[in-house]
Structures are given as structure tokens and as C-alpha cells.
Amino acid sequence: ETPIESKPSWLRTKAVVSETYQDVRGLVREKNLHTVCAEANCPNIYECWNDREATFLVGGEICTRRCDFCDIATGRPTEYDVDEPRRVAVSIKEMELRYATVTGVARDDRPDGGAWLYAETCRQIHELSPGTGVELLIPDFKGDPGALAEVYSSRPEVLGHNVETVPRIHKRIRPAFSYERSLDVIRSASEAGLVTKSNLILGMGETREEIEEAMATLVEARCDILTITQYLRPSKLHHPIDRWVKPQEFIELSSLAEEMGFAAVMSGPMVRSSYRAGMLWGRAVVK
């Protein structure tokens, strides 16, 4: 292990096991429910589940794209499960969630890129749990206006699409995406009247100036909520870690982002794009 791979001391969380967390955990075990939180061993699980917030994956476990920071396997997906939206909605009801993030793989093998799956999951959650907020974190559907319109018409409380990194290294990190097209997705969601959100992962080789420029392009594309996170390398086959961003820099970037006009910002070494997502949405809508 090279020194850069050793995690700094600030990348640790304290596990505070609350009663609500135990309640949610019990339901997940008893009913054999699948969440990204538990299956990816997310360190924020005690906090998010205590707030009755969790994240779900749709579209299967194989992605048609390959991003250099992502742990999901790339290949040709086999299954396309039209019952998945219902199961996710039932899980959310059983967990009595206040807010759910739904994300998934890119399904470029499907004519609609999997747009129906996202839209249908949102519709079914709203139907079964009218008081639960839904955040859809979507791929770009190659910019297909029909697919995007289908997703927007399901009226998620938040529409997330992550640019993840700055324009200069975007092609290398996310070869099947384009920075400009991602900005267009955010802009079109905002024009459709949705609250929008994006994420920047730091520590992949970007400079401070480039981060600030990327933030400016997101504000310009009418992105309402921003999360800023630290890159963690899933394996030696993935993009190397360039640096560990210090907690102080995350705090500075958070203040700067608020000054630049984002309605709500979450920035920190342990932040994930779905971390405390319901709370952030609440902050964004009161503004």
C-alpha cells in the first residue's frame, strides 16, 4: 500500500446506534430488504437511518458504462425486472422512510435507457407513501428528451444528476458521459420545475480553481443543491487517489458554494451524494 492509499484520521465515523436505527435495521433484516446503505457498508448508515432516509438501486447490478471511480461492474445486463419499482416502493413503506434516494446503473441496452424504471419507481413510492420524499439520481439517458421527460413527469422531490468531476478530466473519469450534456440534464430538469442536485468528487486530480469553475457552471445550469465529497478508490484497477482533501477545505468550499448561489450544500470527507438528502432538500425548499 502506497502512503496516499492510507486513509487520514478524519475519515472515520462514530457509530451512534439510535433506537430508530435499530428499528429500521430490524425491519430490513426481517423482511429481507435491499438497500445501498447496508449492501455498500456505507459508514453514514447510523445517521441516515436514524433520520429514516435510505438509498435504493434500480436496474440491476451490471452497468453498461464504466466510470473510473465506480465500484459497479460493467458489462451487458441480462435482467430487466419490471416488478422492481413495486418492490422498492414496498420496502420504503415497510421501513417507514421519510425520504428515499433512488439511483441505478445506466441501461444503454434499453431503448429508453431505463428511464421508465426510474419514473415508475418514483410513481409507486408516491402512491404507496404519499408523505415520503423521493430523490431520483439519474444517468443522462444520452440526453434523450423523451426519456428525460418521462422521468421528470414522475415529479420527484429532487432530481439529481452528478457531474462528479471537473471538465478537464471528465472524459477520462466518465468516458461515456459528457460534462456539457450533464449540465443540460440539470438545466432541463430545472426548466421542468424540479429541484435539482449534483455532486463533485474531489481527489481525482482536479485543481482548486477547476473546482470553483465547475461550481460556477452548475449554478449557471440552475443546480439548486450541491454535495462535495472525497474520492475513495474502490480497487487498484480504479483511478488513483490524487489527494485527501482536508476538512477545512471542505468547509471553505461549502461557504463559497452558498455565496455562489446554491440553495443547500453538503461538503465533507464522509459525505456521499445521498447523505442526509432529505434534510438538504428541506433546506433547499425553504429558500
Binding footprint of ligand SF4 on the chain (CB under 6 A): 36-37, 42, 44-45, 48, 53-55, 63, 65-67, 70, 72, 101, 105-106, 139, 272, 274-275
Task: Give the span between the Cα atoms of 119 and 215, in whole angstroms.
Answer: 28
Question: Measuring CA to CA, which residue among 127, 106, 104, 126 is closest to residue 58?
Answer: 104
Nearer to ligand SF4, 42 or 265 (CB): 42
Cell 429514516 belongs to: 52
The answer to whether 247 touches 230, Cβ cutoff 8 Å, is no
Task: Give the span between the Cα atoms of 280 and 199, in whole angstroms.
Answer: 13
Nearer to ligand SF4, 7 or 208 (CB): 7
Nearer to ligand SF4, 70 or 169 (CB): 70
Distance in Å, CB of 139 to ligand SF4, minimum? 5
Question: Measuring CA to CA, which residue among 174, 124, 119, 126 is closest to residue 147?
Answer: 119
Distance in Å, CB of 12 to ligand SF4, minimum? 15
Nearer to ligand SF4, 105 or 159 (CB): 105
Question: DSSP alpha helices (H): ranges in the chain?
Answer: 19-31, 36-39, 45-50, 84-94, 115-128, 145-153, 167-173, 179-191, 208-220, 247-260, 277-286
Distance in Å, CB of 255 to ligand SF4, minimum? 22
> Which amino acid is residue 9, in one-letter code?
S
Nearer to ligand SF4, 54 or 284 (CB): 54
Contacting residues for 205 by C-beta, under 8 A, at least 6 apart: 169, 242
Nearer to ligand SF4, 53 or 224 (CB): 53
Distance in Å, CB of 101 to ligand SF4, minimum? 6
Distance in Å, CB of 72 to ligand SF4, minimum? 4
Nearer to ligand SF4, 42 or 148 (CB): 42
Question: Measuring CA to CA, which residue among 166, 125, 163 is closest to residue 273?
Answer: 163
Q: Roughly how many angstroms between the first and final C-alpha of the chain, as a whole number?
A: 46
Give kind and range of the element (H or E) at residue 35: none
* Three-state secondary structure of 131-171: CCEEEEECCCHHHCHHHHHHHHHCCCCEEECCCECCHHHHH
Distance in Å, CB of 70 to ligand SF4, minimum? 3
> Which amino acid is residue 219, in one-letter code?
V
Distance in Å, CB of 116 to ligand SF4, minimum? 17
Nearer to ligand SF4, 167 or 261 (CB): 167
Distance in Å, CB of 148 to ligand SF4, minimum? 16
Question: Measuring CA to CA, which residue among 192, 258, 201 is closest to residue 224?
Answer: 258
